[in-house]
Amino acid sequence: MRNLSGTPNAGRLGYAAVRRLNGAFLLSLLRRHGPTSRAELARLSGLTKPTVSSQITDLIERGIVVEHGVVVPDARGGKPSTLVRFNPGLGHLIAIEISAAEVRIRLTDLDGEKLDAEAAPIEPDRGARHVLQTAIRAVNRVLKRGEGRREKLMVAAVAAPGRIDAEAGKVVETGNVFHWANVAIREPLERDFGVPVVVENDVNFATLGEMHFGLGRGVRNFILIRLTTGIAAGLVLDGRLYRGTHGTAGEIGHMVFDREIAAGPINPRGHLESTIGLDRIRERIHAARMQAVPFDLSAANPDDLLEALRVRDPIAAAIANDLESKLTLAVSNIAAVADPELIILTGDLIVLVADQIQAAVKCILPWPIRVETSALGDEAVLLGAIGAAQEFAHDLLCGKQSQMASD
């Protein structure tokens, strides 16, 4: 049997630290396997049965673990075994997604089970303070709708647009409809909620959502490409989210396919995104309508573009062809660099040309790469945010355990 207290470094770590490591390990096993007996936990962990029994007793006393029924032995005999499981009702998590038109809020337990949700419209032109205050008010409404929700809140996670400094909890820059620079996200939300706040780029959270709940499950190397108002990619390499040196890995909106444009001044938004972002597509559709094209594209949304394509409207077809051409180059280039097994496409507009992108990638790259559209869609962002909040809550629980054990 392997007991962490018997490892060479155990003396250096100290008793409390070893207990924290053992407890964190057992808690991870319970979250992964569900209700489990103490004997099975000893087998899975390699820890001694007395160590497991002591740790589980402590976790039960702190409400982190609860007993969950008894397993009756089979005909071969043996003693009944009491199952234990992680207690997801111990705390609550909040996920917040900031998009171009609204903020979405989701409240869950520690297992990520949805308890409540709300969406609130925003006006990005009114600035960051308006957006953050709208998010705070929406979260507070959700928390007030249930008894004890605020007291149980442990962690909040925010999916924000643009370049993010995750360590500082701020938006460094977003050059699309928000026009934010060095906007603190974590500080005002932690001040209001009174709990830790995790801040990450929305595409990275969507990528984590796909990795844990979508097409990326079990895939060691994949890329998510998301086109909304902005366009960006999330990269999972060797089973881990890759952020790069400046936290900007996957900012494909800055790709350039025109030499003359490349020689010009820096575009804070990115040259590619400035052409095919959803708001720019809308502007092009509106311009087409002003030129009295035969099909009315004034509503300016992807469904109208799809319908225009169906009736063979020439202006809509030209817009879609340009979108397809630029996306194909972007997807093929990043695939050639990262060599993923899978590319996941998400976003209403990109889905319109997914088949053409898939066919083009097969022609451009001489090795097989799966190109598929996301089944999670917009849900991926909130799922990824909740997943990050779960991991943070797990660390908090283990930290609390360590502090109590040392008292």
For strands 197-201 and 92-98, give the pairing. Answer: unpaired
Pairwise CA distance, residues 348 & 121, whole Å: 19
Q: Where are the alpha helices (DSSP H) in 49-195?
A: 49-61, 128-144, 149-152, 186-193
pLDDT grade for 291, boundaries at 50, 70 and 90: low
Pairwise CA distance, residues 139 & 119, whole Å: 10
pLDDT in tens, 292-333: 554 444 444 556 666 665 666 677 777 778 888 888 989 999
Whether 169 has a pLDDT exceeding 60, the answer reads: yes
Instruction: Tell which residue, 381, 354, 402, has the closest CA to residue 23.
Output: 402
By three-state DSSP, how is residue 253 classified?
Answer: helix
Whether 253 has a pLDDT exceeding 70, the answer reads: yes
Pairwise CA distance, residues 23 & 64, whole Å: 11
pLDDT in tens, 124-155: 999 999 999 999 999 999 999 999 999 999 99
The residues pairing with 239 across neighbouring beta strands, listed in sequence order, are none
pLDDT of amino acid 178 = 87
Q: What is the pTM of this model?
A: 0.83
What domains can you pick out in the chain, each with its CATH number? 4-86 (1.10.10.10), 90-207+382-394 (3.30.420.40), 215-375 (3.30.420.40)
End-to-end alpha carbon distance in the chain: 28
pLDDT in tens, 31-71: 999 999 999 999 999 999 999 999 999 999 999 999 988 87
Whether 393 has a pLDDT exceeding 50, the answer reads: yes
pLDDT averaged over every residue in the chain: 85
Instruction: Tell which residue, 327, 324, 326, has the closest CA to residue 343.
Output: 327
